[in-house]
Amino acid sequence: MTSYILNFSPTGMLPSKQMNPHTPISVSEIIEDVLMAAEFGASIAHLHARDHKTGEPTCDLTTFAAILEGIRKHNKQLILCVSLSGRNVSDPVLRALPLTLDGEAKPDMGSLTLSSMNFSSQPSINAPTTINYLAQQMALKGIAPEVEIFDIGMSNYLHTLFKKSLLPQTLYANILLGNIFGAQPSFAHIAALTSALPHNVVSSFAGLGSYQLRSNTLALASGHGIRIGLEDNIWLDNARTTLASNRSLLQRITSIASHLERTPARPEQVRKLLGLHPGEGMYGLVQHVG
């Protein structure tokens, strides 16, 4: 496969202006960076919203709506995914709030982490009931899941969700490498994770912190897509001497990809692959996958 999915994650839950002044926090900054990423070939934007006063992550519908509408004012093809993270909100109803947006603010996708886990300094709780609830809400509203996988058990759990008819016919997955409690950036771990996936899953790989470049490069060399952005890594080098910007991260990884003779897939190509329609976010549900 010569083309690859380029998924852009500009902000995330943790980076702040104090950590890295290039981090987009305001609505206008996030929109600007997403549109810039589209010029580099991004087809998916994985979006977090931040409170305009505190800079902290928020589920606020007005903020999410302003981000999605602002992007679509200039680019209607880009696939927009809202984060439904549970790292700072445990109530699944609150986590699902961005799924209620409609019109130009309706997301194409919503993130769905497939298990609880630990990060280096805090847990992320995703109970089975929460996972099922979020998947059900997305299915009801015609919004596709962007599943987040950190270890092989999460790959395996997809088979159960397919059997419950809660997932689209072709599913997109971000596989995140480098968490101390999860899978690591190696060909062996990539092979194990992908071999455990159902056959109809399209994968991109991200790397956390200093593992970002290695994970992205391994993914490109293995024929997969990538996720890139300040959400996962705020430094340009492992020695932490140079703070990254979203532009510098995109410039570097797309240059590496071009040397491997791989080009970013256009948003319309990815929409067709995943069964997404601009302005609708609809997809077909499977009835049963064994």
For 100-109, 113-122, 237-246, 248-257, which range has the lowest pLDDT when averaged over its residues? 113-122
At residue 290 the predicted structure's pLDDT band, cuts being 50, 70 and 90, is very low
Contact 149, 175 (CB under 8 A): yes
Quote the pTM value: 0.94
pLDDT in tens, 134-155: 999 999 999 999 999 999 999 9
pLDDT in tens, 189-198: 999 999 999 9
With cut-offs at 50, 70 and 90, classify the pLDDT of residue 227. Answer: very high
**Cα(85)–Cα(92) distance, rounded to whole angstroms?**
9
Strands 57-58 and 49-50: antiparallel
- The fold for domain 3-274 equals TIM Barrel (3.20.20)
> Could you state, in order of their start, the residue ranges of all structural domains in the chain?
3-274
CB 61 within 8 A of CB 97: yes
Q: Is 244's pLDDT higher than 60?
A: yes
Query: Residue 207 has which token pair?
Result: 């790397």
> If pLDDT is split at 50, 70 and 90, which confidence band does 121 have?
confident
Q: What is the mean pLDDT of the chain?
A: 93
- Name every residue whose Cβ is closer than 8 Å to that of residue 254 and which is 6 or more positions away in sequence: 6, 40, 41, 264
